[in-house]
Chains A and B, each alone.
Chain A
Amino acid sequence: MSILIVALVFLFLGRESIPFVQSHGLSEIFNEIWRPVSFENEQFGMLALITGSLLVTLLATIIAVPFGVVSAIYIAEMASPIEREIWKPVIEMLAGIPSVVLGFFGLVVVAPLVKSVFHLDSGLNALTGAILLALMAIPTIITISEDAIRNVPQSYKEASYSLGASKLQTIWKVTVPAALSGIVAAVMLGLGRVVGETMAVMMVTGNAAVITFDPTQSVRTMTATVAAEMGEVPFGSDHYHALFLIGVLLLMMTFALNMVAQRVLKKYRIG
């Protein structure tokens, strides 16, 4: 059944995006200007959307990885059993907050904060989006990294202790390197979630389709474009098919990330 659904997903996204590839060609993806509604010259360059997604994802990773990994180490190796009992529901809660609520929180709290800290005209930019996305990736990163860290055999640590290493030295020099592949996989799964996240980024990144690498600029991501514009496009138009093509690109990106992460997890028998 799930094979069938996955096959259908690929089939239908493909079916709806092929007309666009036929009429505009695949090279259109790398065109720079996204101007789907225009009287004289419609352009469907997706490069700006792709860089928008990449920028936000990259920033979110930079924020989420230190927090996620350090917390995972702390919870797995240093926390007392009582602390652990508290942490599980907290992480589940953070994972459970709907993205639209996080987006709303970003809109009323984070965006004004970012605006005043960096003295900007508007708080709706890539950085605000990245902060929210980091919050969404953190539960995934913590849960899977923690599993990976716990899977490191006790004997490794004991060997380190018996050589006179302190607890911290053992953690950083023995446990973490041994769990590294699992941690990397955790980060990749978190990334998969970030790339595909829609609502929060749509609400706070400002939605300007420009190519930029400045975190304080407003950007527009692939997911936000699909969600925001699908409601307004005429069925069967070039624009409609172009949005489906964006869906296909997104699907391929997350698929690749997930497959590699699963490989790694499976190889080291985690999770």
Chain B
Amino acid sequence: MSMKPRNLSERLVYFSMLAVTYAILLVVIYIIADVVVGGLPVLSWEFLTDAPRKSGAEGGIWPVIVGTFYLVLCTVAFALPLGMAGAIYLSEYATQGRLTRMIRIAIVTLAGIPSVVLGLFGLGLFVIFLGFGASILAGSMTLACMILPTIIVASEEALRAVPQSFREGSLALGATKWETIRRNVLPYAVPGMMTGSILGIGRAAGETAPILLTVAAFFLPTLPQSVFDQCMALPYHLYILATQLPDVEKARPMQYGTALVLIAVVLSFNLAAIVIRSYFRRKYRW
């Protein structure tokens, strides 16, 4: 319904609300533009493929990119199967009752735990108690705990969006429950599940506090060889470059370059999620 503002004072209020809203848009654009403008001149083949020199003030960020890649990969390996299995259970198998209510409360609680507290937890459980030490294994498990709620909630929503009649049709033809889920429910829910998971993974790639306590090393001479090694990671690298170097000003280009790569990685995850969502929204309509 469109109704035009009636008098001057209404028009003023209307306009100021518009201004406030668009101020946020401007800030978002400004932040991204600032990082892109600062980072682009630094971005080169050498920057992406060289190791850092002079504790990061010169050189490149290749080991940092590799470290982030390993971390994200391991996190996905832990979180995705667990999250999807959890969602399938919650939406298809579980009967609504006290147990599911408790599970839901647990998921919301987990989602609300500050990342630094999860980092402490990872330190206490994985690094010290289970004896993994500061390692990719400990870090990615901590990150997996962090993104699990996102994956479960998004996947469950996607599963619930599949019409009940799809299931009934399959069950009526004599398929078992699992066959029904596998052939008639999952294929339609997968785009939605993927969207949610990708958003979660993007978050994991950009998160600093948990890896600060569980894996990250600022400088390593070699690339990580196994999951029990420490590794470097983009967000942590940026943090160190921006705050811990003796001559922070001189390392500005490196900081901008790292920030740009990090933002590009995270936002491309987001973009992928958006594209998948709109593509499949057009493809499946019922």
Contact = CB atoms under 8 A, between A and B. Distances in A.
A167 B128 contact: no
B239 A203 contact: yes
Given A93-B267, A196-B113, A198-B116, A2 B32 contact: no
A45 interface: no
Given A73-B17, A92-B270, A227-B119, A104 B124 contact: no
A59 interface: no
Interface in A1-49: 1-3, 5-6, 8-9, 12-13, 15-16
A197 B69 CA distance: 24
B120 interface: yes
- Interface of B, secondary structure class, is helix
A12 B123 CA distance: 9
Classify chain A's interface size. 35 or more
Nearest to B82: A1
A45 B153 CA distance: 39
A99 B206 contact: yes
A180 interface: no
A258 B238 contact: no
B150 to A, nearest CB: 12
Classify chain B's interface size. 35 or more
A71 B35 CA distance: 25
A166 B110 CA distance: 44
A8 B121 contact: yes
Contact of A98 (B112, B128, B207): B207
Nearest to B148: A2
A52 interface: no
A104 B117 contact: no
A97 B31 contact: yes
Nearest to B241: A104
Interface of A: 1-3, 5-6, 8-9, 12-13, 15-16, 66-67, 70-71, 73-75, 78-79, 87, 89-90, 92-94, 96-105, 107-109, 135, 138, 161, 166-168, 189, 192, 195-199, 203, 223, 226-227, 230-231, 235, 243-244, 247, 250-251, 254-255, 257-259, 262
17 contacts: A2-B148, A6-B106, A8-B125, A16-B120, A70-B17, A78-B18, A98-B206, A101-B259, A101-B263, A105-B34, A108-B252, A250-B116, A254-B112, A254-B113, A254-B117, A255-B112, A258-B112
